[in-house]
Structure 1
Amino acid sequence: MKSFYRVMLGQGSMYAQECREQGYIGAGFDINQDLSNSLPEEWRKFNKQFIPIYLEANPGKSKISAGLRCGALWTICKGIMIGDIILSPDGKGKYFVGEVQSEYRFVPGVDQPHQRQVNWFEEKIDRSEMSDSLKNSTGSIGTVSQISKYREELEGLIKGDAPKPVLISTDETIEDPAVFALEKHLEDFLVANWSQTPLGREYDIYQEEDNFGRQFPTDTGPIDILAISKDKNEILVVELKKGRASDSVVGQIQRYMGYIAEVIAEEHQRVSGVIIALEDDLRIRRALKVAPNIEFYRYEVRFDLIKA
């Protein structure tokens, strides 16, 4: 089954029109070598090899920034498959849509030498026609984002059909899908109001140029929010569970934290975690007893109908 990706073509979509006219998507990231023989099946191996190369070319950047850029480069060159669908913002409120036609190619001497051939469709998608959830996903900061969970809506938009609102949960760790439907914008709300939360007093959501610590990729899945302490000495992994979460989320966040500690964190940085859910239970409390570097926060959602 084909996947769907949103790909930014240069800062501010500066290369979008050129890519459409010449039939490709591309990236650079200051890695100016042919990657044809350096694209392993696992992006983690790619990052291990190329993060030092990126940092050597950009000594002022952090390992987080390097990890995001190298991960995005691997996705463009290898992770995206022939037949997958690309959405790229044109910088004017619409999205170019195309289908990937070729494997990786290296074109030396251009700003975006790492390329994939794309058959761009004649039709564009207007951002105003998207659901709020899809707008948030396609509008997130970052070079590449996987948006296949909006497959049904995207297929309708490509065909010119109006989107149909769908409120479902496909997350098996969520024990109350009915509550999930009401709270589907929890992540958007938390990001938008981060500075007003208790976490916002000590941590900032990671952000550097076109990189943003939301849906941060790891080899076991994306981290909901990646934050960093204001003194830069601690990296915080935030996992959101809409509704009542099971204790399996503890193992999930520990996997994410292990990845950050091994691959991303600097030597002086410690890694902590926060789980945010509607409520805890005995199982989560027991699991957290032996995980002192993970905290649990409850949230409240209110929905009132007031007779006029």
Structure 2
Amino acid sequence: MAGQACKYAQQCFEQGFIGGDWGIEGDLTHDLGDNWRDFNSQYIPVFLAANPDKTKVGAGLACGMLHTICKGMAMGDLIFCPNGSGIYYVGEVTSDYYYAAGEILPHRRKVKWLAQGTSREEMSQPLKNSAGSIGTVCNITKYAQELEALLEGKKPPALTHSDESVEDPSVFALEKHLEDFLVANWQYTELGQDYDIYTEDGEIVGQQYPSDTGPIDILAISKNKQTLLVVELKRGRASDNVVGQIQRYMGYVKHELCEPNQDVKGVIIALEDDVRLQRALSVTQGIEFYKYQVSFKLIK
């Protein structure tokens, strides 16, 4: 996303670049190692100094996205940039990082844009959710097949059903798209009574939040701002291995994101558990287990 509310998208398209800002000044060329964690360690304090009203959560996300723009994207990668009117400009990254001092979005990559973009209305609902779910930069590589079909002028395959009474067959894909469904319906869940998915400047940033041991499915914060909640989703049965996984995420949150007056808790959500998971959780503090149920009804 080129600036808040896509305000720089047209300029990026016309001038052939994409970039970021976040109040971090100066050429980053010599600080762009392959490891984004090292970059974050160096620039989170810089970001917080330039944005004193932001949190450590926002700082970590901003620096991670800046590193993605400057280093994580490779030459030849395709990017999709919304213009704010339902169209995504599509372009190929054609240069390494460069710094445009005094310009908007000064941390830049050159882009060769295609003459014609693609419409958001042609995207499947899961792709719409992913493409618009997380601030400035998100990785939509898992939708590559659908995106390639869109660029060839083909619409993505639709879910089919044999019952004409079903108005929205997409609910049958709930288990496959559990994360997007949970985020969209968070306020109606038991967790939504006490926690909000983490947002910055009105945008959800707590979905697939990056950590040094992998992305956190959902990062939420209690309504009193005292507790950060790590949510790990498992599509199907959860084994005891997930306990160690969520503990690693919680450790990252505790040491890297929590403010001095905050603590961290965890929630595992799966279709079902087993005795090994129950045993592991019985001697583990701060982690709860929830089962999800898929329900579908036809009412005449």
Using the size of structure 1 for normalisation, the TM-score is: 0.89
TM-aligned CA deviation for residue 166 of structure 1 = 8.1
Pick from 169, 172, 189: which aligns with 2:181? Answer: 189
Q: Look up the match of 1:206.
A: 198
Q: Look up the match of 2:255.
A: 262
Report matched runs for 1:101-112 at 5 Å. 101-112=94-105
Pick from 82, 86, 90: which aligns with 1:89? Answer: 82
Q: Is the contact made by 1:143 and 1:211 (CA closer than 8 Å) also made in structure 2? A: no
Secondary structure at 2:66 match in 1: helix
1:275 and 2:285 aligned: no
Pick from 14, 26, 32: which aligns with 2:7? Answer: 14
1:78 and 2:71 aligned: yes
2-structure distance, mates of 1:182, 1:59:
40
70-79 vs 253-262, which deviates more? 253-262
TM-aligned CA deviation for residue 246 of structure 1 = 2.6
Letter in 1 for 2:256: V
1:238 and 2:231 aligned: yes
Report matched runs for 1:28-43 at 5 Å. 28-43=21-36
Letter in 2 for 1:302: S
Q: Look up the match of 2:278.
A: 285
Q: Look up the match of 1:225.
A: 218
| Deviation beyond 6 Å, 4+ runs, structure 1 | none
2-structure distance, mates of 1:235, 1:186:
21
91-100 vs 237-246, which deviates more? 237-246
TM-aligned CA deviation for residue 219 of structure 1 = 2.3
TM-aligned CA deviation for residue 254 of structure 1 = 1.6
Report matched runs for 1:137-152 at 5 Å. 137-152=130-145
Could you report, residue by residue, the CA deviation over 1:23-74 in whole angstroms, capped at 9, with x for unpaired residues?
1110010001110001121111111111111111111111111111111101
1:123 and 2:116 aligned: yes
TM-aligned CA deviation for residue 196 of structure 1 = 2.4
Q: Is the contact made by 2:174 and 2:181 (CA closer than 8 Å) also made in structure 1? A: no
Q: Is the contact made by 2:217 and 2:231 (CA closer than 8 Å) also made in structure 1? A: yes
5+ residue gaps, structure 1 = 1-7, 168-179
Secondary structure at 1:297 match in 2: strand
Q: Structure 1 vs Structure 2: percent identity of aligned residues?
A: 59
Pick from 88, 93, 96: which aligns with 1:100? Answer: 93
Q: Is the contact made by 1:65 and 1:211 (CA closer than 8 Å) also made in structure 2? A: no
Letter in 1 for 2:186: W
Q: Look up the match of 1:170.
A: none
Pick from 37, 51, 55: which aligns with 1:44? Answer: 37
**How many residues of Structure 1 are paired with residues of Structure 2 in the alignment?**
289
Secondary structure at 2:211 match in 1: coil
Report matched runs for 1:147-162 at 5 Å. 147-162=140-155
5+ residue gaps, structure 2 = 161-171
TM-aligned CA deviation for residue 239 of structure 1 = 1.0
Q: Is the contact made by 1:68 and 1:211 (CA closer than 8 Å) also made in structure 2? A: no
